[in-house]
Amino acid sequence: METNARSIAQSCDADLIIKAQADIKHFEPLYDRYFNVVFRFVHQRMESSDDAADVTSDVFLKAMSGIVTYKITACPFVSWLFVIARNEVAGFYRRKKTEQRYYASQEGMERIAGDIDYEVSQSYFPLKRILELLPAKDFELIDLKYFNSKSIREMSEITGMNENRIRVKLHRIRERLGKMIMARSGELSSLMRVLAVIIVCNLIISIS
Amino acid sequence: MKRYRRIETERASLSDSEIAQLKPSFSTMTGRMKQMPAITAGPPVRYIVTAVVGAAVVAVLVVFYYLFIAGGSHINDDATPQLAEDITERRISPPDPARIDYEYFRVTSGERAVLTTKKGSRIMVPPGAFTWADGTPFTGSADLRFAEFHDVVEIFLSGVPMTYDSAGVNYTFQSAGMFDIMAFSSGNSLILADGKEITIDIVSNDPDLYNLYYFDTVVNHWQYLSTEQPGDVVPYSGRDDTRRPESGQRRISSEAAGELLAEGGLSQKQEPLPEASPEKRFKRRDSRNFAFRIDFDEKSFPELSGISDLMFEITDDSVEKKYLRGTWDSIALDRDAEQGYRISLFRLRSSYTFNAQPVLNAAEYDAVVESYRNAAAQREQEMAERRSNAVAQRAVAQRMDANMRNWAYSRSISVVNLGTWNLDIPIPMPENATVIAAVFKDAKGKAIYPQSVFVAQKDVNILWNYNPSQRVLYSQSRQNIMWFLMTDGNYAIITDTMIRSREKTLVPDIFDADQALAEIRKYI
C-alpha cells in the first residue's frame, strides 16, 4: 500500500524533474537530495570510498544527461537512480575485471539468518559463503530486501520484475538458502567428524 | 563452485559528513556533463544486455542447482502464493483514548499565558496566539488541551505511529518526549495565528540532542523540522516558583482526576464575624428594668445596626439614679474591653459613665439570634470547603513536586502549528535483532493472529510496531517485552523469557488493560 508520503515525495520530485528537463540547473536539489542514498548503495559494493564516489558521480551524470528522456511515472525518481547505479557498478567491475566486493551490514545478515532459521550465535562464515555463491539476480533481491530494506514495490521498480514474481523468488531463495546452509553445516560436521577420527587414529597408533 | 562476489561484514558505514567530503559540487557535475556525448541509446539497450547476462546466470544457476541441491523443484509461476506486502499505515489511532492524560487550560486571547503541566513542562502562549480555522481573528477565552508522552507506555497509548521513512529506509523513532497541543473555543478548533509561536519547555531525562518532527495529519507522515542545538537542552529547574501558573490563568479541572486548583480561593477577603454571639451581646428586654434609647452612628457600631427597636439597660449596679435625671448636653457610646458597652453623659464640665447592655424585645431578639446562627453555620461550611481545597491544593502541589523531581532536563521547543510534535532519533532496527519465528496460541490451543504487535526494550525509549506481514524482531542484548491487543480488549503479553525460549508456539499471558500496562512499565 503506497503511503501518502511517497506520493508527496514523488510530486515534489516531479516538479523538479520538469524544471530540470527545461534547465539542468534545477537538477541540483535532486542531486543534493539523493546523492547520499545512492552513494551508500554503491559503497556497499565497492572496496574504496573514492571508487564509490566516482561511480556515484557517474550515476548522476548519466541521470543528468538522460533527464530529458526521463518519463515521470508512478515509479519514483530514486528507483530510476538505483537502476542506473546497479548498471554502473556492474560496468565498473567489468572494466576492472576484479572480483566483486559486497559489504554486508550485520543487521542485514541477522535478518537473513532469522528468516532462514540460522542460529545467529554461530559464525557468519557459512552464511557469507552461501551468499557469495548466489547468482547476481538472486543476490540482488537478497541485497535489496535485507541489506537495503526495500519494499516489494521498490524492488519491482529497481529490478523491473513483476511484484508477485519477486515475492515468489524471494520465497524460493530463502528456502534454498535454508537448505544450503543446512547442507553446509552438515558438510562441516562431517569434516569435523573425519578430522576427529583421524586424530583419534593417530593417537591410538602413537600409543601402541 | 563459482564465487560471484566476496562478502565482507567488518566495515562501518560512512557518516553524512564523510560522504559530503567525497561529493563533487553540482557545478563540477554540470561541467563534466557538458563534455559528455548526448545519451541516445535508451533503457531498451541496457535491458537487452541485462537479459543476456541474466540468461547466463540462470544457466549457471541451473547447473549449480542440479549439482549441489538434491530434489530441486520446478518454478511454477502459476502456483504462486499471494504473500502479503509490508504495510505501514500511519494514522493516529489510540488503543484507548480515555487513557490519554489530557490537561486543559483556559487562556485569554489578549494576554500572555505561562502554564505548567502536571509533569512540570511549561507552555508559554503569547497574546493573540490563535485564530479561527478560516483565519479570522479570535478574541475571548480559548481552551488549550495538552498531553505529553514520555515513556513507551504513554507513546503506545497515544496511538501515534512511530515509524518514519527516509530515502526509502524504514525507521522507528527513539523519543526524548512527545506532546500534543490543540486549542478550541466552544467546541470549534483554533489554529495558531501567522507569526505566532507557542514555546514548550518539555521535561526530559535524556541529555542527547534529538531531531524535531511534526506529524502532518494531511499526509499522515512525520515531517522533519530541525535538529536540537546544545542550548535547547538545559538542566530542569522545576522548583522555581516562577514556573507556577501566573495569576489570571485558570486550570480547568479534569473530571477523571477530580482535582481542583481553585485560583484565588484562599485569598478572598471574608467579612469578619461579630466578636460575640447575640446571646452574649444582647439581652431580652425586661419591662421591669429601666431602659432607654440613644442615637448612635451605626457605621461605628455595625453589630448594633439594622435593629429596629434597640434600647439599653444599665448593667452597673453602682449607678446613682440622680445622674439619670436632668438634662445632659451629650451622650457617647463606647465599647469596653469586655465586649460590653459604656455610655458617657456630658454636661458642662462634668461627665458620668456607666455600663449598659443593648436589649431587644422578644421577637427582635429571636430574629437576631437566628440570623447569627445561620451566618455562623454558613461561615463554618465555607471554612470547611476552604480547608478541603487547601488539602487538595497541597496534594496537587506535592504531586507536581514529585513529578518535577523525576526530571533532569528541560528542552525548549517553539511550535508554529498545533498538533503532535516529537523529539526523536530515527533508528533503523533493533540492535542485534533476531526474528521471532513463532505462532501465537491461546491457552486452549487456538491460533491468534494479532493485527499489530508491539515490542519494547528495557531502558530504550523505542516502541517497535509490526504488522502481520512483517517479521517481528527482538533484541538479543536487551530485555524485551512484546504485546498485542486481543479482540476482547485484553492484552496478550509475551515476556523476554518466552521470546528467548525460541519455541515455535507461544502462549501469551493475558491481562486486562490496567494490569498489562503495569506489567509493561515494570519491564521498561
User: pLDDT tens for residues A64-108?
Assistant: 988 888 887 767 888 889 989 989 998 998 888 888 889 888 888
Nearest by Cα to B119 from B390, B392, B418, B407: B407
Q: Which residue of chain A comes nearest to B49, CA vs CA?
A: A87
Contact B243, B116 (CB under 8 A): yes
List all residues 6 or more positions away from B347 whose beta carbon is below 8 Å from its beta carbon.
Answer: B326, B327, B328, B329
What one-letter code names the amino acid at B315? Answer: T
User: Which grid coordinates are listed for A56?
Assistant: 556515484
CB nearest B471 (choices: A37, A115, A132)? A115
Q: Which residue has the cell 434600647?
A: B311
524 residues of chain B, pLDDT tens digit each: 678 888 887 788 888 888 988 899 898 898 888 776 544 444 445 555 666 666 776 766 666 655 554 443 333 333 332 222 333 345 778 888 888 889 999 999 888 999 999 899 999 999 999 998 888 889 988 999 999 999 999 999 999 999 887 766 778 899 999 999 999 988 888 999 888 899 999 999 888 888 898 888 777 788 888 888 777 888 887 644 333 333 333 333 333 233 333 332 333 334 444 456 777 788 889 888 888 888 888 878 888 887 888 899 888 777 877 777 667 778 888 887 666 888 888 876 678 888 888 999 888 888 888 888 888 888 888 777 777 766 666 665 555 555 555 788 889 999 988 999 999 988 876 656 777 878 888 888 888 888 789 999 888 889 998 877 777 888 777 888 999 988 888 899 999 888 888 788 889 999 988 889 998 988 88
CA distance B445 to A53: 56
Q: Which residue has the cell 485558570?
A: B250
Burial call A58-79: b when 16+ CB within 10 Å, e when fewer = bbbbbbbbbbeeeeeeebbbbb
What is the nearest CA distance from A120 to chain B, expressed in angstroms?
A: 8
CA distance B403 to B28: 57
Helix (H, G, I), strand (E, B), or coil: what is residue B248? Answer: coil
- Tally Cβ neighbours within 10 Å of residue B238: 20
Q: Does B62 touch chain A (CB under 8 A)?
A: no
Interchain contact, B23 vs A39, CB within 8 Å: yes
A100 CB neighbours in chain B (<8 A) are 4-6
Helix (H, G, I), strand (E, B), or coil: what is residue B103? Answer: strand
Whole-model pTM above 0.80? no
CA distance B464 to B283: 82
Q: Does A31 touch chain B (CB under 8 A)?
A: yes
User: Which grid coordinates are listed for B177?
Assistant: 518526549
What one-letter code names the amino acid at A83? Answer: V
Q: What are φ and ψ of residue B105, in 5° steps?
A: -130, 155
Return the HEC string of chain A: CCCHHHHHHHHHHHHHHHHHHHCHHHHHHHHHHHHHHHHHHHHCCCCCHHHHHHHHHHHHHHHHHHHHHCCCCCCCHHHHHHHHHHHHHHHHHHHHCCCEEEECCHHHHHHHHHHCCCCCCCCCHHHHHHHHHCCHHHHHHHHHHHHCCCCHHHHHHHHCCCHHHHHHHHHHHHHHHHHHHHHHHHHHHHHHHHHHHHHHHHHHHHHC
Contact B209, B229 (CB under 8 A): yes
Beta strands in B54-111 (DSSP E): 103-108
Q: Does A179 touch chain B (CB under 8 A)?
A: yes
Q: Which residue of chain A comes nearest to B28, CA vs CA?
A: A57
What is the nearest CA distance from A110 to chain B, expressed in angstroms?
A: 6
